[in-house]
Amino acid sequence: MALTDEAIGKIKQMITSGRVRPGEKLPREADLAAELGLSRNSLREAVKALSLINVLDVRQGDGTYATSLAPSLLLEVLSFIVDFHRDDSVMEFLEVRRILEPAATALAAIRMPDDDRSELGTALDAASMGSSIEDFVAADVEFHRRIAVGAGNSVLASLVDNMSAPTTRARVWRGMTERRALERTLAEHRAIYGAIMERDGELARSWATVHIAGIEAWLRTALAD
């Protein structure tokens, strides 16, 4: 394993130093192994490991390339890890949402393009009191996703998206068990949307904090009961 770690480190150095740029093809295996002073077996294991986390793209019959290294691509591995969360860790994901989403919402109020603001309104209108719980939560998730994208920071948007997924079941549960939960959610969404349309970052941040904190407080009480 130590030899594979060494090989991974050397390939990483090639990319971070600019020797191989995003999207470029790596030298063929024999040449690369000789250049890095590695055995071909260690090199293959390193390439396999780096392809699993989207750093390298192995194209059968063509060669191995560095990926675009876009944050959204590299953070896909986080989504895989998050899928293994336990139900008793949902509170921790909500705490992270409460940290990240208000910041993303404040940025979206300032940065979101006009066309995206219009589409955010469409996402807002997709949820109504007459929606099924599942459809309502799906619209809720989409509303928050569009806000995160509107922040204009791909790293932040990917983190928010990954932190949202583990809380979906809790949102469904809340909609089914808490009186007026859907009504409250709609009112808070409209307040967030209004602040974004007014380009008021601090107001948008405040409403997003109230919104996420409300879900967190409800779940803490529900779990205690």
Please indicate, yes or no, whether residues 107 and 165 belong to a single structural domain of this protein. Answer: yes
Q: Lowest-pLDDT range, 129-138, 165-174, 189-198?
A: 165-174
Q: Are 16 and 57 in contact (CB under 8 A)?
A: no
Please indicate, yes or no, whether residues 160 and 220 belong to a single structural domain of this protein. Answer: yes
Q: Are 146 and 116 in contact (CB under 8 A)?
A: yes
Please indicate, yes or no, whether residues 49 and 127 belong to a single structural domain of this protein. Answer: no
**Tens digit of pLDDT for each residue in 37-69?**
989 999 999 999 999 888 999 998 899 999 998
pTM of structure: 0.71
Q: List, in sequence order, every residue forming a beta bridge with 5; answer none if it has no partner.
A: none
Q: Which amino acid is at 22?
A: P
Strands (E), the chain: 56-59, 63-66
CATH classification at residue 36 = 1.10.10.10
Q: Which domain holds residue 51?
A: 2-69
pLDDT at 2 over 80: no
pLDDT at 214 over 60: yes
Please indicate, yes or no, whether residues 214 and 188 belong to a single structural domain of this protein. Answer: yes
